[in-house]
């Protein structure tokens, strides 16, 4: 069994694609429409054949998507967690690209984390495991 796809809901797929590629540094993998549905994925440039992140419209086929997205954001729960080699360095790089952080780099038990707003309705955590 393998994980090939995971996804997050976004309030605007075009805005999400721009943020995830131009700010976070992912690359677009797939982008096609099927009727009113748009299949949009990004991948890490370090693993172009790795796990794809689906940027799924919260106005799509899941009637609970927008409520779910709003509630986890309101409660400060990240919708995704991306691992990095150095949280402080990535924090500085992302800030230079316009990212807004809700939590600056913070040491926790066994890791260093920071949390940013993806501008599309989600909090995203970046993590470096310290073990």
pLDDT value at residue 36? 86
Determine the Cα–Cα distance for residues 57 and 10; give it in Å rounded to an integer. 5
Determine the Cα–Cα distance for residues 87 and 80; give it in Å rounded to an integer. 15
Chunked into runs of 10 residues, the chain (131 residues) has average pLDDT values of 96 97 98 93 97 94 92 98 98 98 97 98 97 86
Give the class (CATH, top level) of 5-129.
Answer: alpha beta
Q: Which residues contact 90 (CB under 8 A, 6 or more apart)?
A: 84, 114, 126
Answer yes or no: are the C-beta atoms of 113 and 103 closer than 8 Å: yes
pLDDT value at residue 61? 80
Q: Where are the domains of the chain?
A: 5-129
Euclidean distance between the first and final Cα of the chain, in Å?
Answer: 26
């Amino acid at each position: 069994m393998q994980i090939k796809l995971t996804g997050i809901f976004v309030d605007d797929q075009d805005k999400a694609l721009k943020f995830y590629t131009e700010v976070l540094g992912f690359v677009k993998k797939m982008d096609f429409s099927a009727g009113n549905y748009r299949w949009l994925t990004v991948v890490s440039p370090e693993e172009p054949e790795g796990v794809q992140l689906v940027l799924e419209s919260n106005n799509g086929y899941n009637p609970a998507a927008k409520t779910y997205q709003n509630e986890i954001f309101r409660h400060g729960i990240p919708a995704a967690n991306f691992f990095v080699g150095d949280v402080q360095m990535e924090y500085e790089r992302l800030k230079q690209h316009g990212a807004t952080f809700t939590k600056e780099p913070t040491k926790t038990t066994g890791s260093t984390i920071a949390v940013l707003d993806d501008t599309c309705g989600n909090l995203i955590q970046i993590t470096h495991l310290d073990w």
